Chain A
């Protein structure tokens, strides 16, 4: 069983640029969620994708967007980068939507630094 993987591990961008982060979900999982974790804080929910459709979004502006592909891998795109976007971006996969017992499995994250 393959775990959740993310790429790249680290990334440095400048203000105003665009970035794409990638996530491969755990084998058999069809749901991917993205979180942003600023230094010293808990992860904050960005959005979730279920079977290629967005299913829920947190309090993030539209310049944060995403995709999920038929193989359930996912991308997070951030346009017009701001300094405050510097954070650890976490991807989590799970199986299905309904049911409180479906735990999420997290990847190691991508550390984004915006200069």
Chain B
């Protein structure tokens, strides 16, 4: 599985967009980009995933660069409840193993 690189922490003002970057320069053609988040003392929560096209759901948007070597998770209007550790994961096509890195601690401040 490809390795990912994320900044250790980020701050965001409540109501503003939070843009969380992720580098995955060794991603292969059949690997998906997944984002999960973990709120303190809870299990990780699935947010969104994509292969090469940009994706949007009710929680977030995922922007993947054309060369697929990096991506950005966008929380359009961050709230205090979005404070969590955000994990960017690149996952092989077959099998369900998720390889978690250290993630990005996002702090949303009022």
Contact = CB atoms under 8 A, between A and B. Distances in A.
A102 interface: yes
A104 interface: yes
Range of interface residues on chain B? 20 to 34
A66 B51 CA distance: 32
Contacts of B45: 106
A100 B97 contact: no
B102 interface: yes
A86 interface: no
Range of interface residues on chain A? 20 to 34
Contacts of A105: 46
A108 B101 contact: no
Q: Dominant SS at the A interface?
A: loop
B32 A42 contact: no
B14 interface: no
A41 interface: yes
Given A100-B32, A101-B49, A106 B96 contact: no
Contacts of A103: 34, 46, 49
Given A100-B51, A101-B32, A103-B49, A42 B103 contact: yes
A85 B63 CA distance: 38
Contacts of B94: 97-98
Contacts of A97: 94-96
13 contacts: A33-B96, A41-B102, A42-B85, A42-B102, A42-B103, A43-B44, A45-B99, A56-B96, A98-B93, A100-B31, A100-B32, A106-B44, A109-B43
Given A55-B95, A98-B93, 17 more contacts: A33-B98, A42-B87, A42-B100, A43-B44, A43-B98, A48-B97, A56-B96, A56-B97, A58-B97, A92-B98, A94-B96, A98-B94, A100-B32, A100-B93, A101-B49, A103-B34, A108-B42
Interface of B: 30-32, 34, 42-46, 49, 51, 85, 87, 91-103
Interface of A: 4, 31, 33, 35, 41-45, 48, 55-56, 58, 90, 92, 94, 97-109
